[in-house]
A and B are shown apart, each in its own frame.
Chain A
Amino acid sequence: MLTLVLFNLTNGIILGLFYVLMALGVSLILNLSNVINFAHGNFLALGGYFAFSLAPYLGYWGAFIVAPILVGVIGVIVEQTMIKRVYPRPHVYSLLLTFGLAFIIQDMCRTIWGVNGLPLSIPNALNSPLSNQFFFLTGYRIFLVAVVIVAVAALFAFLGFTRVGTRIRAGTFDLDTVSALGINIGLLRALNFGLGIGLAGLAGVLAGGQIGLNPNMGDDLVLPSFIAIIIGGIGSLTGTLVGGLIIGIASAVTSIWWSAGSEVIIYIMMVIILVARPRGIMGEEGMMT
């Protein structure tokens, strides 16, 4: 029984970490650009596929570094050519645009890499379980946890301690004033968008090593990521971090006793939060206005 609980708890943490990576990216973009990116899961898939195609040339570690950066660059290009044009328009435009982008990227993946799943091979050193009793604690899973912790810490340090990061945080509050202080907010938004998309790319590389690649691999993560943001509190990245972990763990732990409930529980939690504390766990009053 203990092993079963630990097994599910580990699964929950891993799942939660994927939600966190996804939701942080969605949150960054939502906070600064007011765009809900429905294509986020497809950028995740793109990350995985890029790693797959780069690995023969750069090796796993090279692909691991380069693929997320490349996805981030593509994010900047998409922002500059498409997303940026709908900023002055009502929300529905950006919703439709990213919704359409999701299909386009998905079909591009199908066309280039095929409809069938592909494996993303990981170095043998990462592949073996650490012990027989805790068979679920593979080197790869520990690596995955470490990478996410480092990435999230780096993100928070960037936002907290650099001038550009400070400007991004200021911009989530009042873009007009940031631009009146001499900051090119177009550039700031592009950079921020690329950063959020790059996080999805990283999640894709990590997910590829765990569950393999397919054109829909990010789809199941998109909705829970939105819910993680709502539960954590819109506008608060710390909240998003907490929200992602909570729903990941809740969903895995629920499946111990009620396997069909592992998805439902996320929605139940969202409803409870929306009724009891609409601003979310760490959200601030009025951040949506």
Chain B
Amino acid sequence: MIALEAEGLNTFYGKSHILYDVGLKVEEGSITTLLGRNGAGKTTTLRSLVGLTPARSGKVTIFGKDTTRTPTYRIAQMGVGYVPEGRKIFAHLTVEDNLRVPMERPGPWTIDRVFKTFPRLAERRMNKGRQLSGGEQEMLSIGRALLLNPKLLILDEPSQGLAPLIVQEVFKIVQQTKADGMSVLLVEQNVRASLEIADYAFVLDHGIMGWSGTAADLMKDEERIQELAGASAEEWSFDDDLSAQEAVALSHQPTTVA
């Protein structure tokens, strides 16, 4: 069974053409990762899939239903959880209020279960969203999407800006949702880490789907991975234009508290 299928998506922001005939597929119960360098059109693809930036042409099918022109909230109500880029926490709402926003779709996920799964959020339930750390915000954004009790979970760069230890934790959660029977579509810059947990991979390049296949096959293609990882290689390395000494010196400068 196929949870989500997109064919020939052409998406525009105003007059600029962002996606060219993009197609992709998420098998039920799989983790599918969508990779690509900055500006390749990954976020736009996701926004087209959930109806926030509808494609001008092409077709999106979710759980066997044509959703190309379906409003976002209806797609969500079908059981599609979306964890947007940059987490999009409601910064002026408390953690608990953030969790009271999603529509209640029946299923195992309740606010209590989110608090049990993410004890850190339970501790901070009365804190405002803006007072949370990046990792906590990511947990909140994922927990909020899980409250829809989705059958398909779409995550847009959940590891962005997080410390390596937290990234590991986030990826563990993603694996857990698969074990719970959800299908997952994961957009990442963190190429190696996402290939490790993914079953299938798609590679987007300048708005064109350049490669698709199993994650295992892509993992063997060291050259392509290098190219994809580019400047944002997940192994800690220094930028080319910054010598190692300079970087060390910078990192030892006292940081002023804003």
Contact stretch, chosen from A61-69, A77-85, A172-180, A271-279: A172-180
- Chain A residues, Cβ within 8 Å of B52: 176, 179-180
Q: Which among A176, A183, A184, A284 is the interface contact of B101 at CB below 8 angstroms? A: A183
Tell whether, in the assembled complex, residue A166 and residue B93 are in contact, meaning their CB atoms are under 8 Å apart: yes
- Chain B residues, Cβ within 8 Å of A183: 73, 76, 101-103
Tell whether, in the assembled complex, residue B93 and residue A180 are in contact, meaning their CB atoms are under 8 Å apart: no
Cβ contacts A90-127/B at 8 Å (1 or 0 each): 00000000000000000000000000000000000000
Tell whether, in the assembled complex, residue B73 and residue A182 are in contact, meaning their CB atoms are under 8 Å apart: yes
- Chain A residues, Cβ within 8 Å of B92: 169, 173, 284
Q: Does B28 count as interface, using CB distance less than 8 angstroms? A: no
Tell whether, in the assembled complex, residue A173 and residue B91 are in contact, meaning their CB atoms are under 8 Å apart: yes
Tell whether, in the assembled complex, residue A166 and residue B50 are in contact, meaning their CB atoms are under 8 Å apart: no
- Chain A residues, Cβ within 8 Å of B82: 180-181
Q: How large is the interface on A (under 10, 10 to 19, 20 to 34, 35 or more residues)?
A: 10 to 19
In Å, the complex CA distance between A169 and B93 comes to 8
CB neighbors of A among B69-89 (8 A): 71-73, 76-77, 82, 84, 88
Q: Which of A174, A180, A181 has the most CB of B within 10 A?
A: A180
In Å, the complex CA distance between A284 and B82 comes to 27
- Chain A residues, Cβ within 8 Å of B151: none
In Å, the complex CA distance between A177 and B101 comes to 10
Cβ contacts B24-50/A at 8 Å (1 or 0 each): 000000000000000000000000001
> A176-B52, A176-B72 are known contacts. Are A181 and B91 too (CB-CB below 8 A)?
no
Q: Does A146 count as interface, using CB distance less than 8 angstroms? A: no
> A170-B90, A284-B92 are known contacts. Are A181 and B97 too (CB-CB below 8 A)?
no
Q: Which among B97, B103, B144 is the interface contact of A166 at CB below 8 angstroms? A: B97
Q: Which of A163, A167, A170, A284 has the most CB of B within 10 A?
A: A170
Q: Does A269 count as interface, using CB distance less than 8 angstroms? A: no
Q: Does A54 count as interface, using CB distance less than 8 angstroms? A: no
Tell whether, in the assembled complex, residue A167 and residue B73 are in contact, meaning their CB atoms are under 8 Å apart: no
- Chain A residues, Cβ within 8 Å of B73: 179-180, 182-185
In Å, the complex CA distance between A180 and B88 comes to 11
> In the assembled complex, how far is the CB of residue B167 from the closest CB belonging to chain A, in whole angstroms?
22
* Chain A residues near B (Cβ < 8 Å): 163, 166-167, 169-170, 173-174, 176-185, 284
What are 26 contact pairs spanning A and B, CB under 8 A?
A166-B93, A166-B100, A166-B101, A169-B90, A169-B92, A169-B93, A170-B90, A173-B93, A174-B90, A176-B52, A176-B88, A178-B101, A179-B52, A180-B73, A181-B82, A181-B101, A181-B144, A181-B147, A181-B148, A182-B76, A182-B77, A182-B105, A183-B76, A183-B102, A183-B103, A184-B73
List 20 additional contacts besides A177-B88, A177-B90, A183-B76; criterion CB under 8 Å: A166-B97, A167-B101, A170-B98, A170-B101, A173-B90, A173-B91, A173-B92, A176-B52, A176-B72, A177-B84, A179-B52, A179-B71, A179-B76, A180-B52, A181-B82, A181-B144, A181-B148, A182-B76, A183-B101, A183-B103
